[in-house]
Amino acid sequence: MLHSASPTSYVPPERLTEPAICPACDAKLTLSHGVIHLGHYDYDGKVRAGLIWTCSDKCFLSWEHSSFMGKC
């Protein structure tokens, strides 16, 4: 199941204008223009779940695929 949410649900208003770099495509944009998903990542060799910011839903899927799904 794919969960996505607007950063405004999680990021304090004063931080929404901060620049961020998409981990999937390296695009630079502000936090308010991206999306937040519940994703998975590798932490000391263990899979953890957490909130992941990317510039778009498409980037989230490619990021999750390359760094998590490929290891299963």
Whether the CB-CB separation of 35 and 9 falls below 8 Å is answered with no
For residue 16, the 8-state DSSP code is T
CB 36 within 8 A of CB 6: yes
Burial of 12 (0-12, 13-18, 19+ CB in 10 A): exposed
Q: What is the contact mask toward Zn ion in residues 27 to 66, using x (rule: CB under 5 A)?
A: x---------------------------x---x-------
Closer by beta carbon to Zn ion, 15 or else 33: 33
Rg of the chain on CA atoms, in Å: 12
Q: Looking at 10-18, 23-31, 43-51, 64-72, which segment touches Zn ion (CB under 5 A)?
A: 23-31
Query: Pick from 24, 31, 36, 52: which binds Zn ion (CB under 5 A)?
Result: 24
Q: Smallest gap, in angstroms, from Cβ of residue 46 to Zn ion?
A: 26
**Given the rule CB under 5 A, which residues bind Zn ion?**
22, 24-25, 27, 55, 59
